[in-house]
Amino acid sequence: MSENTMSSALSSTVVSKASIAVNRFGYGARGNELEQAKVNPKQWVKSQLQAISYSADFPDSNTILLEHFNYQQNKKDNKNNKKQQVNRKPSIDKNNNNYTRKMMVTMSADTIEQAVTSSNSVSWRLLDFFSNHFSVSAGGRLMAGLVSTLEREAIAPNLLGNFADLLIAVEQHPAMLIYLNNERSFGPNSKIGKRRRKGLNENLAREILELHTLGVNGGYQQTDIVELAKAITGWSVINLKKEKGDGFKFRANGHESGDRKILGKNYSAKGVLQGEQMLRDLAVNPATAKYICYKLAHHFVSEKPAEALLIKMEQAWLKTSGNIKQVMMTLFDADEAWLDTTQKFKTPREFVISAHRVLSETKIHSKAVYNTLTTLGQKPFNSGSPAGYSDNQKDWAGASALMSRIDWTARVSSFRKNANAEKLIKKAFGQSISEHSYQVIMRAESRQQAFILFLMSPEFQRR
């Protein structure tokens, strides 16, 4: 493929409303979705917002915590040359050092497989958005096991409800608490703080304000970070040596007691309620509405969303106390979201999912898809930052990144030598493809080359 052909993947194409509905807001056409969307594109998109449920076949966060505790105990026992205790019976292989990483790969692939096969891919795109918004990374054995459970246990159940409920569920989840070290954050004047000489950790409080709610320009000060950090002291994780429960544990003896004040408001509530009340107020703060509505519009519509669209979304946020479904409905209703040219360059994850959808794949091989996303630069739960992965074109459209996409497409094409490019074009775009792209694809020297040109076309690389 020539450099000119490769760079053409960055150009914009005029598209139909049905194509916008399926490709911009969803993860691309599967089956006859494009035909379904033609009837009423806006209504089709709205009907896509359905609750997401996960299979119970995978371990939950509590199981991961228990497994990791057993693993550490067995490791300690082996080191001391002691026999295993008869009454310790882990539910999984106690000697498997790779267990949590295997679970991460398998559960990550399961999420992608469901996004590929779902008839409600708009909801799965929204799930991915918030999973990235509340980014956690798989550093270390325990975090490798926990990262996939965050979106399953905290994000998916609250995806279409109020942001406050989602926010609290996320911040109290073991994956987030451990990732940002809050499970060891205790008030300096608390019983635990004095006894263990362990103090305040501001990591989680800082990211709540900077990344999860108000945004870096949200008007908070360092004193607000400290006060929020004190309010969530004692927000920890169960100690499986002594306790029973489901992940989150509020340690009253580790909480910094006293009234708190953030953003000019006083909080006299005691215990766990103090931090929860702060989060509920942060969730409906106008700065939070502005910040997250911008991120949603930036992700779903354009890197430069129209001011009129942002105002409509912010008003919906404040009117409904941050109801995510209603904010998304407002976005889908707004004419400013239906720009008739392609706006967003697909991230590697979007590219891989949309490719599998148009090919009507029904089974995703976990190791293969995980390796693909690693090669393309968007390895699941590996952004290395609480800010998550970028969805800006400049971060994914470099020459090297495009060549990686071409290489992957070529490998896929070797298993699809008889793929009919013309049928794929109709299924993915209908008539929303430029004459130039159509002719380039149809004049290919072979079906295999046509398939590659189809997936690397400007129309497929953008949404």
Does the residue 200 lie in any domain? yes
Say if residue 352 is in the same domain as residue 256.
Answer: no
Could you say which of 292, 319, 343 is where a domain stops? 343
Does the residue 173 lie in any domain? yes
Using CA atoms, how far residue 40 sits from 131, 325, 426, in Å, is 29, 19, 19
Number of domains, the chain: 2
Does the residue 121 lie in any domain? no
Looking at residues 214-229, what average pLDDT do you find? 98
Phi, psi for 341 (deg, rounded to 5): -125, 150
Could you say which of 343, 372, 407 is where a domain stops? 343
Give the count of beta carbons closer than 10 Å to the beta carbon of residue 280: 18
Cα–Cα–Cα angle for 109, 139, 254, rounded to 5 degrees: 120
- Strand-pairing partners, residue 250, are 235
Residue where the block lists tokens 């109290």: 172
Q: How far apart are CA 21 and CA 15, in angstroms?
A: 10
Using CA atoms, how far residue 108 sits from 147, 205, 346, in Å, is 9, 27, 19
Could you say which of 296, 327, 343 is where a domain stops? 343
Does the residue 66 lie in any domain? no
Q: Using one digit for the tens of pLDDT, what is the confidence trace for 408-456?
A: 999 999 888 788 999 999 999 999 999 999 999 999 999 999 999 999 9
Say if residue 287 is in the same domain as residue 337.
Answer: yes
Q: Which two tokens stand for residue 25?
A: 């807001």
pTM, whole model, 2 decimals? 0.93
Does the residue 88 lie in any domain? no
Cβ-in-10-Å burial (0-12, 13-18, 19+) of 11 comes to: middle
Say if residue 318 is in the same domain as residue 445.
Answer: no
Helix pair angle (99-117, 141-150), 10° resolution: 20
Domain region containing 457? 3-49+344-461
Say if residue 239 is in the same domain as residue 256.
Answer: yes
Say if residue 266 is in the same domain as residue 393.
Answer: no
Does the residue 248 lie in any domain? yes
Say if residue 222 is in the same domain as residue 359.
Answer: no
Say if residue 180 is in the same domain as residue 235.
Answer: yes
Say if residue 277 is in the same domain as residue 422.
Answer: no
Sequence letter at residue 60: D
Residue 82: pLDDT over 80? no
Does the residue 16 lie in any domain? yes
- Closest alpha carbon to 254 in 267, 241, 271, 240: 271
Say if residue 416 is in the same domain as residue 280.
Answer: no
Does the residue 141 lie in any domain? no
Q: Using one digit for the tens of pLDDT, what is the confidence trace for 157-214?
A: 999 999 999 999 999 999 999 999 999 999 999 999 999 877 899 999 999 999 999 9
Residue 94: pLDDT over 70? no
Contact 296, 328 (CB under 8 A): yes
Rg, the chain, Cα only: 24
Q: Using one digit for the tens of pLDDT, what is the confidence trace for 309-366?
A: 999 999 999 999 999 999 999 999 999 999 999 999 999 999 999 999 999 876 778 7
Say if residue 292 is in the same domain as residue 356.
Answer: no
Say if residue 393 is in the same domain as residue 431.
Answer: yes
Say if residue 237 is in the same domain as residue 385.
Answer: no
